[in-house]
Structure 1
């Protein structure tokens, strides 16, 4: 078995040049997301890591799914009682990372998370499969449970309760928009000479800088 230090490969799929960068990072992100969605190499192109910080300054990361993006920012949904939500309530500054390893790309975002309105959350909630709607009622996300059977029993209970009609929106389920202050695009390069460009928000425009790999 090889040592971990011996595992390496070259990054040769592409490059990134300042001359082709748009002034708006969301335009480039949209292009990269489309290419990620079209790629047969990625099974979860919308999966992103979100990092939050607790009241002691301890950072935490987990994977969530991007559900919408645009000029307003990056949108995801979650349980409002979860650890991530509690930490966002304490400190709204977060970072996101799209680890598109198979495409030799990363997108790293910093910004501030803001809670979505109930109307926006409901608009998305009613589009979810009924099983997912029911599951939102089941899990007290991030809390300790004694066994998986507890979840399964609760799911069957909620499934029976909501067997007729629509599943209502839980009061403890919501979403956030992360309004970006910086967006970095990373494209792997040969000999570890990667291309990195950082967009930094400057009032009504974006400043673009090339970063050393």
Structure 2
């Protein structure tokens, strides 16, 4: 009798285990079914952000703080934020530091606005010219390309040791040290010396 009770107890345990196993399988099947029928979420690739205007790019770059201050003093911000397109040969801060002591401070005074505007617009060209465009123009024009500026003067572009060099009306030279910084309304090329209109 005792053996019979033990047998019933053992069979009962097996029966519970079988039911539990069946329930677990059902849950697994449900999970699998859910996984199989759920469609993956669609992901949209992030939109390419359009670059800011020439003024925005220069303002965000720590190498052009003096240039940005000069553009603001000359009230050329709105002009350089307009549709353009423009090519700007932008002097880096170190370029302004090469000028005689007191020159920058003097140019930033309100009474020097006309002279400052003339200098700044001498660095701006109407139209967008990449580094390749400038180099191609130099090569097609026997090694020297005259670039008309917004100031109505000209810069002479040549190649020296593989780099584009700009020569101003006074014969001062400036080397392009960074090229093709794209803006929504043109392109910026950084130069290491401030060029003068005359």
- What interval of TM-score do these two structures reach, taking the shorter chain for normalisation? under 0.3
Query: Which protein is richer in strand relative to its size?
Result: 1
Compute the TM-score of the two structures, normalised by the length of structure 2.
0.27
Structure whose alpha-carbon radius of gyration is higher: 2
TM-score (norm. length: structure 1): 0.26
Select the structure that is richer in helix: 2
